[in-house]
Structure 1
Amino acid sequence: MDDYFNAFEDRQPPEPLPYSPWREALWQFTATLSLVIGAWYITWRWMHSLNYDAMWFSVALALAETLAFIGLILFVYNLWKDQPIPDIPAPALIEDIVPNSPEAGRPIAVDILFATYNEDPELVRLGIIDSKAIRYPHPIDVRIHILDDGRRPEMRAVCDEEGVNYISRTTNEGFKAGNLRNAMEQTSGDLMVICDADTRPFPTILERTLGHFRDPKMAWVQTPQWFYDLPAGERLPVRLGRKFGPIGQRLGCGIEAVFGKVNLGEDPFVNDPQMFYDVIQRRRNWANASFCCGAGSIHRREAVMEAALRSFGASVEERVIASEEEITLSSKENRVAPELMEAMRTEAVVSEILTPYRFHVSEDIYTSIVLHSDRERGWKSVLHPTIESKMLSPQDLLTWTIQRYKYAGGSLDILINDNPLFRPGLTFAQRMMYGSTFWSYLGSIWNFIFLIAPILYLGTGLSPVSAYSTTFFLHIVPFLITLELAMMLGTWGVAGYASKSSYLAFFPVGLRAIGTVLRGKKISFPVTPKDRQSGQFLNLVRPQIGIVVLTLLSSVWAVVALSADMDTPHSLTGVVTNILWGLNNCLAMSGIIFAAMWQPGEIDGKENEDGL
């Protein structure tokens, strides 16, 4: 393990994107223009472009476009406004974060909690060592706790050797959420830093983030997650030079001169989370809607416990009311005797579980919704833009699939069973932000339609539009151009194509998660593996391979049918348009297909510029 980590130890995280009011104004202008043109296009699609000879196909595609446009509106709202990066001085004493504290004058107490189950104890040791190196400009009481749901003697031995607290329990009830609840019963810090087994905090994590807690309503601070072991890839001239010698290297240099730097094998699973944290989450700060993402977050204990107690009390009352209704219906009595009511209340208190973190596969976002909806206390959150820790990335497609399935299934379960859009207490802006998150996980439905639409046209000649005419292109091309320009400005500094392709290729996992939730089945809690799973995983990308094969076959058929003047309804503009559309889909699918075959090489841990 030491050799593996040594290859990445010198890597430094990127700085947060700088705030620019001029770029933000330009983004807002182009985004508004894009939405206006998009609304014009969608209206025209429904009113003037439906193909009445294939209404099932035409309506399905128009509906998919409409649903995607709704998602675009939510996304633009999410990205609408950024804020300058704050520089808040670190608090010195407890009264700086808890006004009128009866313990005024004492240092702030911080619990650093590492949740672990079956991960290598030596991996956790790295996080412990880094935590012990955390610095702070004032006296501070930092306590490190290892929450071992695996109950492993070797993990306890590591804790003893490093001089940190070891916490375990007899069951794994509630999984990570239950593990955190058990730890909260045995710790007492004012603030808690939540870490996964592979989280390695930077020395600056407290001195740069605790200033946010000067606001007594600040419930938690989320820091960006950064995967420091992402494969660096291999420059195209180097790859071609290894295979074909000097001629190949010169060819690679020529290609890069036209298209820019090309890295093969760089971040094959599109794990880099910068788009999510530095763009999406950061731009939710103005609406107080940045949600907790688990590892790398710092929580105010008071906020978490108070929300848990409120939820506990509400659940007890629900149990009592339900029991009272059952008794009055069966006994025909108008009221229940006070002694029986007290007994029912006692039983409800005993039966209900106090859960600071909800027992849910997405306990982090669930807890965020609960705290944000507490209008009485007005709890706040913030995405601190500077990276303050590093983690390991999923290194194989199986691990990637497990992680994405949990994210999607957990979010959709909340959407179906506890929809935040109708939860009392949330502001309109917060509802829109959470709605954007949950809506994005429904995107697999319309993305699937976008993937099969060119296949259907090329294979059968059935058109989803009345005609691929000049009028059609005059409506769709301005929308696509302004949309790309707006997204480029809105995500300035972060490459967006890989994320868009990954989102499109995500459709089988997304559809599976949607089906699981709609059938009322629970999303399982498997621990995301921290070690690379060996082998290739082409069985996991059969649907994506199917899209590529069907697109290529149908394209060949359409070209043959058109060139041979066969009796098919294909048109030249229709064939060209759908082939280009289909090839774009294939390019998006190719990323995840290659990821299924990707194997780590000797160069993955270091840059390989080779003087180019």
Structure 2
Amino acid sequence: MDDYFRAFEDRRPPEPLPYSPAREMLWQFLATLALVVGGWYIWWRWTSSLNPDAMWFAIPLVLAETFAYVGLILFVYNLWRDQPIEIRDPPATLGDIDPTSPEGDRPLTIDILFATYNEEPELVRLGILDSKALNYPHEIEVKIHVLDDGKRANMRRVAEEEGVGYITRETNEGFKAGNLRNAMEQTSGDLIVICDADTRPFPTLLERTLGYFRDPKMAWVQTPQWFYDLPAGERLHDVMHRRLGLLGRWTGRAVEGVLGEIRLGEDPFVNDPKMFYDIIQRRRNHANASFCCGAGSIHRREAVLEASLRSFGASVERRVIAAEEEITLESRENRVSPELLEALRTAAVTEEVLTPYKFHVSEDIYTSIVLHSDREREWKSYQHPYVESKMLSPQDLLTWTIQRYKYAGGSLDILFHDNPLFRKGLTFAQRMMYGATFYSYLGSIWNVIFLFAPIVYLFTGIAPVSAYSNDFFAHVIPFLVTLELAMMVGTWGIAGYAAKASYLSFFPLGLKAIWTVLRGEKISFTVTPKDRNADTFLRLVKPQIAVLALTALGGLWGLGALWLGGTQHSLTGVVTNCLWGLNNCVAMWGMIAAALWQPPETPADTAEPPLMKAEETPT
């Protein structure tokens, strides 16, 4: 394990994307233009373009386009406005973050909690060592605790050797959420830092984040997650030089001179979360709608406990009302006696579980919704722009699949069973922001149509539009161009194609999560593995392989039909659907390549410098 970490210890996280008012204005103009042109295109598709002889094909495709356009509206709403980067002065006392506290002069107390189950204890030790080296300009009390749901003797030994707290429990009820609840019952810090087993804080974690809590309504601050072991890949000209010699090197340099730097083998799983944290989450700050993502977040204990009490009380009342309705229906009485009602309430209190963090596979976002919907306290959240910790990335497609399936299933379970769009207390902006997140996980439904539509045409010659005519291209091309320009400016500084391709190729996992939740099955709490499974995983990408193979065969079939004649195929139709299919194939290949990916034995960029001390980590 030491050798693995040594290879990446010298890496530094990227700086946050700078705020630019001029670029924001340009983005808003282009986004508005794209939505207007897109709305015009969708209207034309419904009113003037459907193939009347193939409505079985035309209707599903135009519905898919419409649903995707709704997702675009939500995405634009999410990205609409950014804010300048501002770091506030770190507080020194409890009174700085809670002016009403009678202990206002007391130094702040911070609990750093490492939630672990079956991860390597030495991995957790690294996070503990980094936490012990945190910088802070004032005298505060920092306590580190290992929350071991695995009840392991070697994990207890590591905690004792490092002089930090060790907390375990008899059962694993509620999994990570239950683990955190158990720890909160045994700790008392004013603020809580939540870490996963592989979280390694940088020295600046506290000094650059606690200033937000000077606002007494600030409930939690989320910091960006950064995977410091992502494969860096190899430059195109180096790969071509190794395979083709000097000619290959010159060719590779020429290609990169036109297209910019190209790296092969870089982050095959598209794990880099910069798009999510630096774009999506940061632009929710103005609407007080950035949500907690677990590791690397700092919470105000008072907010979490108070929200849990309110949620507990609401759940108890729902149980009482349901029982009261059942009794009145069976007894045909107008109301239940006060004595029986009190007995029902006592029973409900006994049955309901007080959960500071909701017992759910997506406990972080669920708890965020509960806090945001508390209109009496008006709790706030904030996405901090700077990376303040590092962690390990999924190292194989199986691990990636477990993680992404958990994200999708947990979000969809909330959407179907406790939809924030209808939750009392959330503002309109918060509903739209949460809606954008959950709606995105439904995209697999219409993405399947986008993937198979060109295949259907290429094999049958049946078009979903009345004709691939000049009128069609006059509507679709302006929309695609304005959309691409808007997204390029709106996400300036972050490459977006890999994320779009990954989203498209995600469709089998998304459909599985949707079907699982619709059947009423629970999404499991599988712990994401932290070590690599040295295997290939083509079995996990059979649907993507099928799309690629069918599209390739369809393209050959369509070209052959044009050559031989006597079919419904047209030249513009075949060319259009071949190009469409090619884009789909490129997206599918990214996932297939990830299934085949193996880490290089001696990567060029992973020499073994001495293990860095915590104080030498990035600031």
TM-score where L is the length of structure 1: 0.98
Note if contact 2:145-2:167 (Cα within 8 Å) is conserved in structure 1. yes
1:224 maps to: 224
CA contact (8 A) 2:7 2:606 kept: no
> Whole-Å Cα distance in 1 between the matches of residues 239 and 277 of structure 2?
32
Q: Provide the C-alpha distance between the structure 2 equivalents of 1:440 and 1:189, rounded to a whole number of angstroms.
A: 36
**Alpha-carbon distance between aligned partners in 2 of 1:336 and 1:605, rounded to the nearest angstrom:** 75
Instruction: Give the equivalent residue in structure 1 for 2:537.
Output: 537
Residue by residue over 1:238-271, the C-alpha shift from the partner in whole angstroms, topping out at 9 and shown as x without a partner, is: 2222223323322322322232221110000000
The 2-side partners of 1:402 and 1:156 are apart by 28
Q: Could you tell me which amino acid in structure 1 is paired with residue 501 of structure 2?
A: S
The aligned counterpart of 1:203 is 203
The number of equivalent residue pairs is 607
Q: Which residue of 2 aligns with 1:592?
A: 591
Structure 2 counterpart SS, 1:205: coil
Runs of 4+ aligned residues of structure 1 deviating over 6 Å after TM superposition are none
Residue of structure 1 in register with 2:95 after alignment:
95
Cross-structure match for 2:350: 350
CA distance in structure 1 between the aligned counterparts of 2:63 and 2:344, rounded to whole angstroms: 51
Give SS of 2:147's match: strand
Which residue is 1:322 aligned to? Answer: 322
CA distance in 2: counterparts of 1:385 and 1:145, whole angstroms: 26
Check whether the contact 1:232–1:607 (CA below 8 A) recurs between aligned residues. Answer: no
Instruction: Name the residue aligned to 2:85.
Output: 85
- Report the Cα distance in structure 1 between the residues aligned to 2:604 and 2:308, rounded to whole angstroms: 43
**Displacement after TM superposition at 1:604 (Å):** 4.1
Unpaired stretches in structure 2, ≥5 consecutive residues: 608-619
**Does structure 2 conserve the Cα–Cα contact (< 8 Å) formed by 1:231 and 1:605?**
no
**1:51 equivalent in structure 2:** 51
Match of 2:241 in 1: 241
- 2-structure distance, mates of 1:462, 1:280: 39
RMSD of the alignment, in Å?
A: 1.2
Partner of 2:251: 251
Partner in structure 2 of residue 8 of structure 1:
8
Q: How far did residue 151 of structure 1 move?
A: 0.2
CA separation of 1:607 and 1:480: change in aligned 2, threshold 3 A:
farther
The answer to whether the Cα contact below 8 Å between 2:8 and 2:606 also exists between their aligned partners in 1 is no
Identical amino acids, percent of aligned pairs: 74
Report the counterpart of residue 582 of structure 1 in structure 2.
581
Q: Deviations over 1:378-414 (max 9, x none)?
A: 0000100011000100010000011110110100110
Counterpart of 1:189, as a letter, is G
Q: How far apart are 1:313 and its partner, in Å?
A: 1.1
Letter in 2 for 1:468: Y
Tell me the residue number matched to 1:18. Answer: 18
Output the TM-score relative to the length of structure 2.
Answer: 0.97
**1:171 is matched with which residue?**
171
Question: How do 1:123-522 residues align onto structure 2 when only pairs under 5 Å count?
Answer: 123-522=123-522
Shift of 1:351: 1.4
What letter corresponds to residue 196 of structure 2 in structure 1? Answer: D
**Inter-partner Cα distance in structure 1 for 2:104 and 2:370:** 30
Which is worse superposed, 342-351 or 364-373? Answer: 342-351
Distance in structure 2 (CA, Å) of the matches to 1:557 and 1:168? 62
CA distances 1:69-97 after superposition (whole Å, capped 9, x unpaired): 00000000000000000121001111000
| Cα pair 1:199 1:389 within 8 Å, conserved | yes
Q: CA deviation at 1:341?
A: 3.0
Deviations 1:201-244 (A, max 9, x none): 11101000000000000000000000000001111222222223
Distance between the aligned counterparts of 1:455 and 1:320, measured in 2? Answer: 55
Q: Alpha-carbon deviations, 1:94-149, whole Å to 9, x = none?
A: 10001121112111111001000000000000000000001100011100010000
The residue type paired with residue 159 of structure 2 is C
**What are the Cα deviations for residues 510-563 of structure 1, in whole angstroms up to 9, with x where unaligned?**
011011111111111100000011200000001001111000001001101101
Aligned equivalents of 2:162 and 2:517: distance in 1? Answer: 43
Q: Write out aligned runs for 1:557-576 (5 A).
A: 557-565=557-565, 567-576=566-575
Structure 1: runs of 5+ lacking an equivalent = none
The alignment partner of 1:208 has SS state of: coil
**1:392 is aligned with what amino acid?**
L
Alignment of 1:21-36 (within 5 A): 21-36=21-36
1:334 deviation in Å? 4.0
Q: Give me the whole-angstrom Cα distance separating, in 1, the residues matched to 2:327 and 2:461.
A: 65
C-alpha contact 1:13 1:228 (8 A) present in aligned 2? yes
Moved more, 52-61 or 598-607: 598-607
Measured in 1, the distance between the counterparts of 2:104 and 2:307 equals 25
Counterpart code for 1:481: V
**Partner-residue secondary structure (3-state), 1:220:** strand
Q: Distance in 2 between matches of 1:89 and 1:393?
A: 32
| Deviations, residues 181-217 of structure 1 (Å, cap 9, x unaligned) | 0000001001000100000011101000000000000
Q: Equivalents in 1 of 2:236, 2:220: separation in Å?
A: 44
Counterpart AA for 1:480:
L
